[in-house]
C-alpha cells in the first residue's frame, strides 16, 4: 500500500512508575525512534493513584510524565516524526492531557495534537453494569465482590476504583487523527505497541498473525530494561548495568519482529534475555489473553541475528476472549510496619522474642490484631523453606507488619514499638526515625467484564486549545 513504511522502531522508556527518569530521554536521543512508549501502570500503581485522586480530583495521573515531556520538548522539536504513547493517564487521562498540553503550548508547540483515551473507568457505570448482568466475580476464586454495597462503603470498605484493560483500537484511532502524544488510562501493556503498529501498517483487526507479532513485540519491551538484561538470572554476565540501555522493537510491514537497544549502552539483548521476558507473567503459554488477540507461544522461535539483535517469530494468534480483565481496588482496613536493628549474641533469637513481646503487649491492651507478620531479616526471613544458620548471627533486622480493620488497634501497635528500647533486651537500635503510622489498605480485586459493555473513546485536541 502506498505510503506505508517497510518498518518502524518503537522504544519503551519506562516499565513502571518509578523507573529510571533518564531512560526515556536517552532512548529518544539515541534510538532513532518512530514511537516512544512509556508503560507506567501496575495494579499497585492504580491503587496509589486512586488514593491521590480521592484527596485531589485533579490528580490521579502519573505526575512524572509531564515532567518527562518537558525534558523531551527539544527532541520533539528536532524530530517531528517522533510520537509518544503512554498509559500515564492512570485514573485521570484528561487531566494528564491538560497538564501535558500546557507544557507544549508554553514551548511554542500549541499546534501539536494531544489525545487521551477514556472508557476504562467503570466506577461511574457500576449500577448500569450490574443491571446488565455483570457480577464482577474474582478472577481466580469466583467469589462475589461484596464491596459494591453501600453498607460496605459506609464501613470504610467501599470500592475506590474499577478499570477495564482496554486494547489498541483507541490508540490507533488517536494516531490516525494526527495525535503527537496519546495518553491512556488502563490499557493492556502490549497494546501501547500494537496501536502504533496498526496505525502505521494499516493491518486488519482480524489479522491475528500480524496482531500476534505486534503483541509479542509489545510484551517483550513493556517492562523496560528487563529484556535488555535487567532481572536476568545470570546477572553477572550483563555488562555495564549502570548505563543499561532500554529496548527497541523493530516491526516490519510483513509482521517480522526484532528486539534491540541503542548502540553504546549497557546491558545486552540475546536469546537468554528475550526468552526470560517472553515467559514473564504469561500464565498458559498456549493461551495468553490480551484485549487485541490471544497468543500461542508454543511455536515461538527466538533467534540471535547479531550483537544485541534478536528475531522473534512463529507466535500464533487467535481471536481474543469475549471479556476484558478489570482491576479493582477496595478499602480493606489498616496496616503498619516497624523495623528495629537487633545486635549482640544470639541476635536472631533476641529479635524474635522482642517482636513477640511487642505483639503480646498490643493483645494485653485488648486489641488483638487481625494479621501479624514477624520477620527476622538476615536470618532467612525472605527465603522461606531455605535453612539459614542463625545461632551465630550478631546483627539482624526485626520487621513487624500488622493489619486490622480497626485503625485504633494498628495505632496501638505503632505505640508499642518504642517502649521496648528501654523495657526489652539490650542491643536494640535503629529507632531514631519517626513512629510508624497506620495507613489505609487498598486491596486488589481482579475480575472481568463483557467486552461489549466497555466503550472506549479517543479525544484529540490541539495543545493550544486544550491548554487554554
In-domain check, residue 334: yes
Q: Are 323 and 448 in contact (CB under 8 A)?
A: yes
In-domain check, residue 189: yes
| pLDDT number for residue 51 | 85
Residues 6+ positions from 264 with CB-CB distance below 8 Å: 30
Interatomic CA distance for residues 386 and 376, integer angstroms: 14
Domain match, 185 and 114 both: yes
Q: Are 61 and 35 in contact (CB under 8 A)?
A: no
Domain match, 59 and 97 both: yes
Q: What's phi and psi for 55, nearest 5 deg?
A: -80, -30
Q: Are 82 and 76 in contact (CB under 8 A)?
A: yes
| pLDDT number for residue 146 | 67
Domain match, 184 and 285 both: yes
Q: Return the exposure string of 232-252: e unless at least 16 CB atoms fall within 10 Å of the residue's CB, then b.
A: beeeeebeeeeebbbbbbbbe
Entry field: residues in the chain: 468
pLDDT, mean of each 10-residue run, the chain (468 residues): 86 97 95 95 88 90 97 97 98 97 98 98 91 90 70 57 96 98 97 98 97 98 98 95 97 97 97 96 94 97 97 97 94 95 94 97 96 93 71 90 97 96 93 90 92 97 96
Domain match, 251 and 187 both: yes
Domain match, 274 and 286 both: yes
Domain match, 210 and 71 both: yes
In-domain check, residue 384: yes
Domain match, 47 and 112 both: yes
Angle among Cα 60, 61, 67 to the nearest 5 degrees reads: 135
Domain match, 321 and 335 both: no
Q: How many domains does the chain have?
A: 2
Domain match, 103 and 228 both: yes
Q: Give the position of cell 443491571.
A: 131
Interatomic CA distance for residues 93 and 184, integer angstroms: 6
Q: Closest Cα partner for 184 from 96, 102, 125?
A: 96
In-domain check, residue 402: yes
Domain match, 308 and 417 both: no
| pLDDT number for residue 47 | 85
Domain match, 243 and 289 both: yes
In-domain check, residue 157: no
| pLDDT number for residue 147 | 58
In-domain check, residue 461: yes
Interatomic CA distance for residues 44 and 215, integer angstroms: 23
Identify the domain containing residue 406 by its residue range: 329-445
Q: What is the 3-state secondary structure (H, E, C) of 124-160?
A: HHHHHHHHCCCCCCCCCCCCCCHHHCHHHHHCCCCEE
In-domain check, residue 151: no
Interatomic CA distance for residues 166 and 172, integer angstroms: 12
Which residues are bridge partners to 259 per DSSP? Answer: 249, 310
Q: Are 6 and 197 in contact (CB under 8 A)?
A: no
**The domain that contains 404 carries what CATH number?**
3.30.70
Interatomic CA distance for residues 235 and 215, integer angstroms: 27
| pLDDT number for residue 155 | 43
In-domain check, residue 395: yes
Domain match, 350 and 315 both: no
Amino acid at each position: 500500500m502506498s505510503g506505508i513504511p517497510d518498518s518502524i522502531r518503537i522504544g519503551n522508556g519506562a516499565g513502571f512508575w518509578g523507573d529510571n527518569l533518564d531512560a526515556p530521554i536517552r532512548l529518544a536521543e539515541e534510538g532513532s525512534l518512530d514511537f516512544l512508549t512509556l508503560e507506567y501502570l501496575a495494579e499497585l500503581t492504580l491503587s496509589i493513584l486512586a488514593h491521590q485522586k480521592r484527596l485531589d480530583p485533579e490528580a490521579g495521573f502519573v505526575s512524572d510524565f509531564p515532567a518527562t515531556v518537558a525534558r523531551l520538548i527539544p527532541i520533539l522539536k528536532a524530530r517531528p516524526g517522533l510520537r509518544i504513547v503512554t498509559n500515564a493517564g492512570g485514573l485521570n487521562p484528561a487531566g494528564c492531557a491538560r497538564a501535558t498540553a500546557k507544557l507544549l503550548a508554553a514551548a511554542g508547540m500549541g499546534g501539536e495534537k494531544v489525545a487521551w483515551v477514556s472508557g476504562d473507568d467503570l466506577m461511574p457505570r457500576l449500577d448500569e453494569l450490574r443491571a446488565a448482568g455483570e457480577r464482577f466475580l474474582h478472577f481466580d476464586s469466583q467469589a462475589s465482590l461484596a464491596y459494591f454495597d453501600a453498607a460496605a462503603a459506609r464501613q470504610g470498605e467501599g470500592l475506590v476504583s474499577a478499570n477495564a484493560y482496554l486494547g489498541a483500537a483507541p490508540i490507533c484511532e488517536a494516531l490516525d487523527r494526527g495525535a503527537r502524544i496519546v495518553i491512556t488510562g488502563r490499557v493492556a501493556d502490549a497494546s501501547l505497541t500494537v496501536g502504533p503498529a496498526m496505525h502505521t501498517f494499516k493491518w486488519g483487526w482480524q489479522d491475528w498473525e500480524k496482531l500476534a507479532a505486534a503483541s509479542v513485540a509489545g510484551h517483550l519491551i513493556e517492562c523496560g530494561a528487563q529484556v535488555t538484561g535487567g532481572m536476568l538470572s545470570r546477572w553477572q554476565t550483563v555488562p555495564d548495568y549502570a548505563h543499561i540501555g532500554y529496548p527497541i522493537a523493530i516491526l516490519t510491514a510483513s509482521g517480522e519482529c526484532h528486539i534491540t537497544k541503542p548502540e553504546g549502552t549497557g546491558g545486552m539483548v540475546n536469546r537468554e534475555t528475550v526468552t526470560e521476558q517472553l515467559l514473564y507473567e504469561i500464565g498458559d503459554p498456549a493461551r495468553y489473553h490480551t484485549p487485541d488477540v490471544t497468543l500461542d507461544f508454543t511455536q515461538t522461535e527466538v533467534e540471535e541475528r547479531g550483537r544485541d539483535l534478536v528475531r522473534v517469530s512463529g507466535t500464533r494468534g487467535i481471536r481474543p476472549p469475549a471479556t476484558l480483565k478489570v482491576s479493582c481496588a477496595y478499602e480493606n482496613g489498616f496496616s503498619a510496619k516497624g523495623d528495629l536493628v537487633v545486635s549482640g549474641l544470639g541476635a536472631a533469637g533476641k529479635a524474635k522474642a522482642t517482636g513477640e513481646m511487642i505483639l503480646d503487649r498490643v493483645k494485653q491492651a485488648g486489641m488483638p490484631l487481625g494479621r501479624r507478620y514477624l520477620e527476622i531479616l538476615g536470618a532467612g526471613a525472605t527465603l522461606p523453606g531455605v535453612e539459614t544458620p542463625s545461632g551465630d548471627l550478631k546483627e539482624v533486622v526485626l520487621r513487624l507488619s500488622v493489619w486490622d480493620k480497626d485503625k485504633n488497634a494498628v495505632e496501638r501497635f505503632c505505640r508499642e514499638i518504642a517502649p521496648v528500647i528501654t523495657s526489652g533486651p539490650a542491643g536494640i537500635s535503629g529507632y531514631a526515625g519517626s513512629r510508624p503510622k497506620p495507613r489505609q489498605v487498598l486491596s486488589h480485586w481482579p475480575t472481568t467484564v463483557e467486552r461489549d459493555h466497555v466503550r472506549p473513546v479517543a479525544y484529540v485536541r490541539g495543545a493550544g486549545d486544550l491548554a487554554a
